Amino acid sequence: MVPPRSAGQEFWAGVGALAPLLVGVAPFGMIYGVLALASGLSPTAALLMSSILFAGSAQFLFCQLVGAGAPVAVVVAEVGLLNLRHALYSAALAPHLAHLPRRWKLALAYLLTDEAFAAISRREAAGQSGPRQHWFYLGAGLALWGGWQLATAAGVLLGARLPAGWPLDFALPLTFIAIVVPLVRDRAMLLAAAVAGLIALTAAGLPFKLGLLAAALAGMAAGWWAVEKIR
């Protein structure tokens, strides 16, 4: 057992656990900043979205959909789908935070991201959690938040200087390819991707960008079917 650590030690341990992840997060945030401008968002909106939404892939999705003129309901439904996984993280953390006052719960919920959850889970797997571990969560969450804001701001500054003729919009599909391809590790994933892609093409003519929602749901259903019915 590790002896109980002070709040400050826990906080900085959290910052330290998250810092290596910033190497991957920083370019991602910069690309987001550049792209947000390219898809027509104002610099203010691009910057504030990193605080209001604070979710990397959902911010990319938001830019793509808003740039394509999708209505509010479709954007909200797609962002909600993509962020469903946060409910899973929330459930995993809930027992550890149950004793805390409400302001802690609100703050840690706001800071709950893929990266912070990864840092927290790794620490729990290593058996290093202690009575002041909420300070560790806070350190990890704030480190990511700060890194994301800085990276986004750098991207917005850079994006404002890039020449207008560059096909910057192509960075969005390229970024999504870079996220999706490593996830396609088995045939169920491949089927989900193929079905989603095909439906997106055939349903592209639907009004309000509903084709995208239909394609996402069809892909998820195909994945579910492959897991539950094929084995």
Give min distance, CB of 106 to other proteins, in A: 7
Which pair of tokens denotes residue 211? 């084709």
Exposed e or buried b per residue across 95-110, where buried means at least 16 C-beta atoms within 10 angstroms of its C-beta: eebeeeeeeeeebbee
If binding is defined by CB under 8 A, does position 208 make contact with other proteins? no
Cβ–Cβ < 8 Å for 26, 127: no
Q: State the minimum distance, in angstroms, from the CB of residue 3 to other proteins.
A: 28
Tell me the closest approach of the beta carbon of residue 43 to other proteins, in angstroms: 13
According to CB under 8 A, which one of 2, 91, 125, 164 is a site residue for other proteins? 91
Q: Judged by CB under 8 A, how many residues of this single chain contact other proteins?
A: 88
Opening angle at CA 221, ends 220 and 226, nearest 5: 100
Q: Which stretch binds other proteins (CB under 8 A): 10-18, 100-108, 124-132, 155-163?
A: 100-108
As measured in angstroms, the least distance from the Cβ of 121 to other proteins is 15
Residue closer to other proteins by CB (options 8, 181) is 181
In the complex, least distance from residue 22 CB atom to other proteins, rounded to whole angstroms? 14
Residue written as tokens 């550049």? Answer: 34
Query: How far is 49 from 178, CA to CA, in rounded Å?
Result: 22
Do the Cβ atoms of 137 and 10 come closer than 8 Å? no
What is the smallest separation between the CB atom of 87 and other proteins, expressed in angstroms?
5
Asked if residue 206 binds other proteins (CB under 8 A), the reply is: no
Answer for which of 13, 37, 78, 152 binds other proteins (CB under 8 A) is 78
| Residue 4 sits in the site that holds other proteins (CB under 8 A) | no
The interface region with other proteins, picked from 12-20, 121-129, 145-153, 184-192 by CB under 8 A, is 184-192
In the list 15, 29, 64, 115, the residue contacting other proteins (rule: CB under 8 A) is 64
Among 4, 162, 170, 206, contact with other proteins (rule: CB under 8 A): 170
CA neighbor of 165 nearest in space, from 13, 25, 38: 38
Residues between 40 and 59 with contacts to other proteins, criterion CB under 8 A: 41, 45, 48-49, 52-55, 57-58
CA atoms of 75 and 100, how far apart (whole Å): 34
Q: Are 50 and 178 in contact (CB under 8 A)?
A: no
| 134-to-17, 58, 100, 147 alpha-carbon distances in Å | 14, 26, 9, 20
Beta-carbon contacts of residue 113 (< 8 Å; ≥ 6 apart): 54, 55, 56, 86, 141, 144
Q: Which of residues 122-161 bind other proteins (CB under 8 A)?
A: none
Stretch that binds other proteins, among 106-114, 123-131, 143-151, 152-160 (CB under 8 A): 106-114
